[in-house]
Amino acid sequence: MMPPGAPRGAPGSDSDLSMDLSLLPPLALRVREHVVRMATDGGCFIGASLSCADLIVHLYTRVLRLSRETLADPGRDYLLLSKGHDVPALYATLAELGFMPRERLANHLKLHDSIYWHPNRGVPGVEFHSGSLGHLLAVATGIAYDIRLRGGANKVFVILGDGELDEGSVWEACLVASALRLDNLVAIVDRNEFQANLRTEELVPLEPIPAKFLAFGWSCATVDGHDFAALDAVVRPLGDAPAVPGKPSAVVARTVRGKGVPSIEARADRWFANFTAAEIEGLLGELHGGAAAGLTSEGLVVR
C-alpha cells in the first residue's frame, strides 16, 4: 500500500515526483495528436476530448497520487470521467505516461481491444465505465465515503461535462456528497460552453454555475482549464486538502471545445468527427501551428 502523503505525479515508474510544469505543454500536444488520430476510421468525440485534454494531463502529472505500480492500490487517488466521451484524451494520456503501450491506441474501435467511445475497465487506469451522463459523481461519492471510513488520505476527482449538469442526478449526488461531508471529493466541470448540439446558455442556461455548487453545500472555484499554472494554483492543492474543510470541492474549468485545432474549435458540428486520412494530416498540422486544415467532410450531428 502507498504511504499516505506519497509524492504525486505518475510520469513513469522511475520517478515519483510531479512532472515539471514546463513538460506539460509538449505532453499535452502529444496527447492532442493522439486524439486527432482517433478521429478517423469510425471517429471519436474529438471536440469533447480536446477541451479537457489539459485537465487530464495536469491531473495525471501534477495532482494524482497514482502511478503504473499503484493502479490497484487502495491508497491511490482516483480520477473518474463522468463525461465518458472524452476518453480519447485519457487513452492518450495513459499511453504517453506508460500505463499502456502507445501502439494500443491504434486499436481504437477494433474488436480485439477495448478502446472504444466510452471508458471501460478493460483499459488499465480506467476506474469505472461511463457513457451515461450523470452517474459517476454518485459512484465517486461511494468511493470517497469508503476512503473516509478507512481513514485514507487519498482523493477522488471526477470530470463532469457542463451539459452533463442538466442531469438531475448530478445535483442529487451533490446533495448527498455534501450531506456526507465528503471533503475528499473534487468535481471538475469541463466548462466548454457546449452540450452536444448547442451552446449551453442557448439551450439550458447553466450560469451561475458556482452559485449552484455553493448553494448545494460545496466550495467552488473557477479556473482557466488550459492554463497549467492556473490549474496548479487551483486544482493541485485540492490533492492535499479541500478548499473548505468538511465540504466537497468543485472547480469550474473554463475550456474551449476542440481546443488546439482552430478549424474545429467551438463548433457543435465537429464535436464528434470522422475525418479522412488527409484531413487528419491537415489537423495535425494545425495543432502544430500550421495553416487551417481545409476540412471537406461534412459536419456531423450525431446526437
Ligand X SMILES: Cc1ncc(C[n+]2csc(CCOP(=O)(O)OP(=O)(O)O)c2C)c(N)n1
Task: Look up residue 198 and give its DSSP letter.
Answer: S
Distance CA 240, CA 250 (A): 15
The length of the chain in residues reads 303
Interacting residues with Mg ion between 167 and 196 (CB under 5 A):
192, 194
Interacting residues with a copy of itself between 34 and 63 (CB under 8 A):
none
Assess contact for 24 and 57: CB atoms under 8 A. yes
Q: Which residue in 75, 134, 161, 225 binds Mg ion (CB under 5 A)?
A: 161
Spell out the SS3 assignment of 232-262. HHHCHHHHCCCCCCCCCEEEEEECCCCCCCH
Q: Give me the least distance between CB of 203 and ligand X, in Å please.
A: 10
83 binds, among ligand X, another protein, Mg ion, none (CB under 5 to 8 A by kind): ligand X
Distance CA 168, CA 15 (A): 41
3-state helix, strand, coil in the chain (%, to 5): 40, 10, 45
Q: Is the dihedral of CA 102, 290, 254, 27 positive or negative?
A: positive
Q: Give me the least distance between CB of 90 and ligand X, in Å please.
A: 13
Per-residue interface string for the shown chain with a copy of itself, residues 199-238, x marking contact by CB under 8 A: ----xxxx-x--xx-xxxx---------------------
Q: Which stretch binds another protein (CB under 8 A): 8-16, 19-27, 108-116, 225-233?
A: 108-116
Q: Nearest Cα to 274, choosing from 53, 57, 108? A: 108
Q: Which residues does residue 275 pair with via DSSP β-bridges, in sequence order?
A: 40
Q: Which stretch binds ligand X (CB under 6 A): 21-29, 190-198, 224-232, 245-253?
A: 190-198
Distance CA 60, CA 234 (A): 15
The angle formed by the CA atoms of residues 8, 12 and 14, to the nearest 5 degrees, is 95
258 makes contact with Mg ion (CB under 5 A): no
Q: Which stretch binds ligand X (CB under 6 A): 68-76, 194-202, 274-282, 291-299?
A: 194-202
Q: Is the dihedral of CA 220, 89, 51, 228 positive or negative?
A: positive
164 makes contact with ligand X (CB under 6 A): yes
211 binds, among another protein, a copy of itself, Mg ion, none (CB under 5 to 8 A by kind): a copy of itself
Interacting residues with another protein between 265 and 294 (CB under 8 A):
none
Q: Grid coordinates representing 42? A: 469510425
Assess whether the previous peptide bond of 88 is cis (omega < 30° from 0).
Answer: no
Q: Which stretch binds another protein (CB under 8 A): 9-17, 54-62, 112-120, 238-246?
A: 112-120
Q: Which residue in 11, 161, 239, 258 binds ligand X (CB under 6 A)?
A: 161
Q: Which stretch binds another protein (CB under 8 A): 21-29, 192-200, 254-262, 275-283?
A: 192-200
Q: Which residue has the cell 458556482?
A: 210
Q: Which residue has the cell 475497465?
A: 121
Give the interface with a copy of itself as residue ranges (CB under 8 A).
166-173, 175-176, 178-179, 203-206, 208, 211-212, 214-217
Interacting residue ranges for another protein, rule: CB under 8 A:
42, 74, 84, 109-111, 114, 116-118, 120-121, 127-147, 149, 163-164, 166-169, 172-173, 175-176, 179-180, 195-198, 203-204, 301-303
